Structure 1
Amino acid sequence: MQKELQENSLSSWQNIELTGFTAASISEKLQELPESSKQEIRRKGEAALAYNWPIIPVTAYLEFVRSGDREIMQRYYRQRNKTLKNLVLAELLEGEKKYIDAIVNASWALCEQSSWVLSAHLPSQKAGAGVPDIQEPILDLGAGETSVNLGWVYHLFGTELDKISPLLKKRIFLEIDEKIIQPYVQRNDFWWMAFKENEFVNNWNPWVNYNVVLSTILLGDAVNNDLRKKVVKKSMRSVDNFINYYKQDGAADEGPNYWSHAGGKLLEYLELLKNVSKGHIDLGQEQIIQNIGTYIMDVHIVNKFYVNFADSSVRVKPNPALIYRYGLYINKPELMQFGAFVSQNTNFLDHPIIGSLDYSLNNLYIYKQLKNTAPLKENKLVSRFDETGVVIGRTSSNGKKGFFFAAKGGHNNESHNHNDVGSFVLYHQGEPLIVDVGVETYTAKTFSKDRYEIWTMQSDYHNLPKINNNSQAFGKEFSAKDESVKETSLGLKFRLDISEAYPKEAYSKKWVRNFELKRELPELIIEDSVEYNKIETPAIHNFMLAAPPKLVKKGKILLRQTDDKKVHFYYPPAKFKFDVEEIVLNDEKLLKDWQQEKLYRLVLTSRNIDELKEVSSFRILEE
């Protein structure tokens, strides 16, 4: 973010306030929705009237430290906030004050909640995980989201609340001030603020900053303008660190599943700044901001499939309205059209009320424009994210023809990292062949020192070799080197040395992996040029597959067969022994992501026990 924007832009503002988003304008937008969507809002509103607002038991928080289960507490959290959202939208749609008392009860119940922080995030408090310390309010994603919901109630229904009792608005203000605004202005040590030099930064930064700024502004004059300016200025310094940390190529370390909560949250924050600054702050033409936006379009494969490195899921459902808003902000019609294209793969146009209350309200304001935008997605034959080390290639601009290929270099200490330097994915006619598994349901272990005990995080369950019985190791130093990309008229070449992604016990002096994607056949060649310091156990090449491979004959494996095409995997049988393992999916999230009960691991074990230099080549061919 430009220095002059940080230091001088606010000085000329007379008042920091949100424009638009009145109860009347939102009601008008709701009336424009399809009847089916309005009926759904009414139905959910009616159901929300019956919610009895149970407390969140202390044992629900404690379950995170007792068993690692974070979902028990989060189910309470989600239901409480979802219920308030449904009541608010129903009242805005109907406008007959039928839901006002229920909204009051919901708001009071959330105000009565001792802590808005999620159980999984309590380790940030000095007392550690377990029971929330109400004397140390901390700011996390959960606290911010609840605060925004209450802020919208204050902003939209303030007059009605005052008719019932002025103490209602006062209570909401006091809780947001105590739990959100004061901790924000008084403390600089929340890790996500990124005020410490060389501090790790991730999607929490724009997400929490956005929630804090929006909550503050929604309270209107209850927060004096000087304090509002102080909050906005501080948020600009903090989000500036996020933008500086983000790679210039715009790629999300966490993968496309997190784009909505990283790049998308940055967009929401920047939109908010543009709104409250009356257009003074607009970073839409900055190259990094443009790259962050178009990333989600470039990593789209076909339908709901996206390139899913790191903790991303294989199927992703980004909010099409958020994509459209990003395209509007950076003035990229092709991104706006991609948002319309994504809406065609979902029921968004019939039911745009998705996600949080804040999401839903913003969707309303963009719905008509998105609906009237022609859906279009032009597939690039090559997309490169050189700083991140991700390269993407297609053999056809038609997403349902030929091969789609993506590979990654980088290092093993990215946000939501998997040990996967040198791994790749391959799709055929829009269907997954060689895959990245993704991630299981989050538990306490997921973000602990024991993260790499989880099988989905390990290189053995990515498309990578196991060298001298050693898997890849965690840490920024375990990285690719000598990465190079070459585009040709015939295809794409990607080269990298992955030897340093393994610990020294692997005795890997050189492991140069060459990918070559050829468009004409189409064909993918993977060539590993290897040099060992010594060999203690034979190397094992792992390939994760979506469907069971069939050994046609030694050296030839059938990966997929359609009505008119076969995809074969060729390997040198003199060099490798063939085996295949079933990977049963027991985790609820993986079962939902993959929509099947098993994946498969193709295991090729090297017969080499004494040659310190060797070259192995694998071919995947459509025939």
Structure 2
Amino acid sequence: MTGIEQLTLRQLKSALERAQDEGAPLFPEAADPRSWRRSRQDPRCAQVWNDIRTAGESFLSAAAPPLPYSAFTLFHRTGDRTRYDDSYFDRRRRLCVLAMLAIADEEGERWIAPLQDIIWAICDEYTWVIPAHVGLYHNDYPSGIWDRPEPPRETVDLFAGETAFALAEITGLLEERLEPWVVRRARDEIGRRVLNVYFADPAPQNWELKTNNWPAVCASCIGGSALWLVRDPEKLAGMLWRTLAALRQHLQGFDEQGATPEGAAYWQFGFGYYVYFAELLYSRTAGQVDLLAGEKLRRIACFPRSCMLTGSQVINFSDAPAEIDYQPGLYDRLRRRFPEAASPEQAPVYKGAFRSWMMASRMLLWMEPEAPAPGRYGGLPRREDYYFPGHGWVVSKSADAGGLVAFAAKGGSNDEPHNHNDLGHFIVHVRGRSVLCDLGAGEYTRQYFQPAYRYEQLTAGSYGHSVPVAAGAGQTAGASHRARPLGYERTDERVVYRLDLTGAYPDAALERLHREFVWERPAQAGGEARYSLTVRDECVFGKAESFESAFICSLPPALEGAGCAAIGPVTMIYDAERFVCRVTEERYRTIAGEERTAYRLVLAASEPSVRTVCEVRFEINGRG
């Protein structure tokens, strides 16, 4: 058995050749009717299967939405990406749902004709690349893309890859029941739009140069499509070798402790696809190639546990949502290999995962039986502390009869994937709510990914984070703007984390800005649970300058006299003689385009000074 770091091309070719004639199914759970039956009979899956059938019935009575040119170019003309994308992903949901019903429903044949229609419609699309990703490989993207007489060369983006993988797998599973022209056309389009684009052109795809979720998703989809469609082991070995290079690139984005600065949601997306492909390759090579082998892979598989808060809430630094829809099958599959990994106690839901056949099918078919699983996340009491020095994250979680209380802070750099200018930012989660919070991703538009616009937005700029403002200036984006760790200490009673934030700011007059977090918690879970966080900033200038420390709150703060403010279950205590407190209500739009409100609580030094020390204490009240 060989892992990704040790694997050679010769070993890959040999493994594919030796397993060529074994005939084992690539996706054994999907090929076994008993797996589908178990899923449909699992009480945890009852609601999602009801939703699948309801969706299927609605698809029978309403045609797939069109994808007109006017919607396709809307991203170029206004920056909007929702109108086209909504219709595009509606078609992918139809593909997923109709394929599941064709395989698993008692009236399976009823769903074949509409499934063939949606496959044919997807094959008719001008491109499988969404408008926001057209021409993404150009260095001056998005300038000079849409106003040229010739469209840019075809590429493989996340969703073209997903489309190819889904069509390859669905036609592979249903080949004997689909009409041959449908199967042939789907496979021809996969070859033309994805396999030939990637393997016939040596020019790197934009994502092959990155370490974020993109190389994982794109390479896994391309490799997964090839596993389903290419029989010749020698040819397949050469194709997979290039995809494996991109997957190694993805793994470089995790630090040595297995953390990614993209957080739990993008871990589930990016590394999830890595796992889907790894399992297919394991089956195709009869267990000779195991891309999940190795200590670093174990640490990556365990990373989401550190991010999990109450229910579906997570620590969400950068462009990450505060809540995610867990895909329990993925976590259960990883726990087979790594028992210390987390399995969220959440039933599958018919939501975003169903835009992708790969995510939805594994979510349902990989779930373990409902019997209690030792070490399953959610047992109380517990205490967990994490330090990820490679990306500068600190997480401390404690639970008692009142619920989960957690603190998280980040250093790192202002040049991370899905970057926010947020060095020294932190979250305090109290029994079901992140009171001091991260706003997550702003609405994804063309402008949001242009730095001049992006960092003027509340969600991505330092103004929308719990960080200082030094001499009137916020933090600056770029690789040179980094936090320098000064120390991490942990005992049963406290966690101390110190950062040098000087490099995060542009002002030449700033000589030093240090931030210290002291998180205090009960030595043992249970009993009188008292928690507090002290945030101490020391700022030194070359001459007297202004200083402010901002705190982003999900609940409206109430000023309760000099030196005290209540933020829901948290009381903030500060020096009212030296700092003036003000609160502003801030409106912003989420990644889903929803209007939300947050509250920005600011402590401003009363007088400019060469040296300012600001110490704030957040006390968590009782068990409420």
**TM over 0.5, yes or no?**
yes
- 1:304 and 2:306 aligned: no
- 1:501 and 2:504 aligned: yes
State the alpha-carbon separation in 2 of the partners of residues 96 and 439 from structure 1. 40
- 1:468 and 2:471 aligned: yes
TM-score using structure 1 length: 0.88
State the alpha-carbon separation in 2 of the partners of residues 192 and 325 from structure 1. 31
Higher relative contact order (CA 8 A, sep 6+): 2
Q: Is the 8 A contact 1:495 1:514 kept in 2?
A: yes
Match in the other structure for 1:155: 172
Q: Is the 8 A contact 1:584 1:599 kept in 2?
A: yes
Cα deviation for residue 547 of structure 1 reads 1.1
State the alpha-carbon separation in 1 of the partners of residues 318 and 574 from structure 2. 28
- 1:123 and 2:135 aligned: yes
Q: Summarize deviations over 1:448-483 as a string: whole Å, max 9, x none.
A: 233212221111110011111111000011011143
State the alpha-carbon separation in 2 of the partners of residues 243 and 399 from structure 1. 38
Q: Summarize deviations over 1:497-546 as a string: whole Å, max 9, x none.
A: 101100034x211111111111144221111122111234x212111111
State the alpha-carbon separation in 1 of the partners of residues 383 and 177 from structure 2. 53
State the alpha-carbon separation in 1 of the partners of residues 444 and 32 from structure 2. 36
Residue 216 of structure 1: which of 222, 226, 229 is its match?
A: 226
TM-score using structure 2 length: 0.88
1:492–1:318 Cα change, 3 Å: same
Residue 64 of structure 1: which of 75, 82, 101 is its match?
A: 75
Q: Is the 8 A contact 2:213 2:269 kept in 1?
A: yes
Matches within 5 A, 1:396-411: 396-398=398-400, 400-401=402-403, 403-411=405-413
1:105–1:89 Cα change, 3 Å: same
State the alpha-carbon separation in 2 of the partners of residues 481 and 257 from structure 1. 26
State the alpha-carbon separation in 1 of the partners of residues 372 and 147 from structure 2. 49
Q: Is the 8 A contact 2:435 2:555 kept in 1?
A: yes
State the alpha-carbon separation in 2 of the partners of residues 5 and 443 from structure 1. 41
- 1:442 and 2:412 aligned: no
Query: Helix, strand or coil for the counterpart of 1:251?
Result: coil
Residue 233 of structure 1: which of 241, 245, 264 is its match?
A: 241
Q: Is the 8 A contact 2:533 2:618 kept in 1?
A: yes
Return the letter of the residue paired with 2:395: I
State the alpha-carbon separation in 2 of the partners of residues 294 and 65 from structure 1. 40
Structure 2 spans left out of the alignment, 5+ residues: 139-143, 523-529
State the alpha-carbon separation in 1 of the partners of residues 74 and 401 from structure 2. 45
State the alpha-carbon separation in 2 of the partners of residues 252 and 385 from structure 1. 9
State the alpha-carbon separation in 1 of the partners of residues 171 and 292 from structure 2. 31
1:621–1:55 Cα change, 3 Å: closer
- 1:376 and 2:377 aligned: yes
- 1:100 and 2:112 aligned: yes
Q: Is the 8 A contact 2:427 2:437 kept in 1?
A: yes
Q: Summarize deviations over 1:112-135 as a string: whole Å, max 9, x none.
A: 112110110003266724899778
State the superposition RMSD in angstroms. 2.7
Q: Is the 8 A contact 1:209 1:239 kept in 2?
A: yes
State the alpha-carbon separation in 1 of the partners of residues 404 and 233 from structure 2. 58
Query: Helix, strand or coil for the counterpart of 1:46?
Result: helix
Cα deviation for residue 175 of structure 1 reads 0.8
Cα deviation for residue 403 of structure 1 reads 3.9
State the alpha-carbon separation in 2 of the partners of residues 480 and 351 from structure 1. 37
Return the letter of the residue paired with 1:313: P
Cα deviation for residue 445 of structure 1 reads 1.4
Q: Summarize deviations over 1:204-249 as a string: whole Å, max 9, x none.
A: 101011111111222254xx43332222121112211222343222
Q: Is the 8 A contact 1:121 1:129 kept in 2?
A: no
- 1:576 and 2:584 aligned: no
Match in the other structure for 1:564: none
Query: Helix, strand or coil for the counterpart of 2:560?
Result: strand
Return the letter of the residue paired with 1:429: R
State the alpha-carbon separation in 2 of the partners of residues 586 and 361 from structure 1. 31
State the alpha-carbon separation in 1 of the partners of residues 307 and 471 from structure 2. 34
* Identity percentage of aligned residues: 23
Cα deviation for residue 55 of structure 1 reads 3.5
- 1:253 and 2:283 aligned: no
Match in the other structure for 1:292: 300
Residue 216 of structure 2: which of 195, 206, 225 is its match?
A: 206
Query: Helix, strand or coil for the counterpart of 2:102?
Result: helix
Query: Helix, strand or coil for the counterpart of 1:516?
Result: strand
Q: Summarize deviations over 1:338-393 as a string: whole Å, max 9, x none.
A: 32x432xx455x99985522223223432343666464336433111111100012
Query: Helix, strand or coil for the counterpart of 1:76?
Result: helix
Query: Helix, strand or coil for the counterpart of 1:98?
Result: helix
1:131–1:3 Cα change, 3 Å: farther
1:558–1:53 Cα change, 3 Å: closer
Match in the other structure for 2:527: none
State the alpha-carbon separation in 1 of the partners of residues 183 and 384 from structure 2. 55
State the alpha-carbon separation in 2 of the partners of residues 24 and 303 from structure 1. 29
Match in the other structure for 1:416: 418
Moved more, 471-480 or 567-576: 567-576
State the alpha-carbon separation in 2 of the partners of residues 47 and 311 from structure 1. 33
State the alpha-carbon separation in 2 of the partners of residues 269 and 399 from structure 1. 41
State the alpha-carbon separation in 1 of the partners of residues 351 and 549 from structure 2. 46
Matches within 5 A, 1:344-355: 346=347, 354=354
Match in the other structure for 2:607: 608
- 1:332 and 2:338 aligned: yes
State the alpha-carbon separation in 1 of the partners of residues 448 and 8 from structure 2. 38
Q: Summarize deviations over 1:414-433 as a string: whole Å, max 9, x none.
A: 00010000111112233222
Match in the other structure for 2:158: 141
State the alpha-carbon separation in 2 of the partners of residues 439 and 83 from structure 1. 27
1:265–1:54 Cα change, 3 Å: closer
Matches within 5 A, 1:455-604: 455-505=458-508, 507-520=509-522, 521-536=530-545, 538-561=546-569, 567-587=570-590, 589=592, 591=594, 597-604=596-603
Match in the other structure for 2:203: 189
State the alpha-carbon separation in 2 of the partners of residues 288 and 531 from structure 1. 40
Q: Is the 8 A contact 2:26 2:284 kept in 1?
A: no
Q: Is the 8 A contact 2:329 2:365 kept in 1?
A: no
Match in the other structure for 1:273: 281
1:613–1:402 Cα change, 3 Å: farther
1:250–1:202 Cα change, 3 Å: same
Q: Summarize deviations over 1:538-585 as a string: whole Å, max 9, x none.
A: 212111111111111111112224xxxxx3211111111111111134
Return the letter of the residue paired with 2:581: F
State the alpha-carbon separation in 2 of the partners of residues 473 and 418 from structure 1. 10
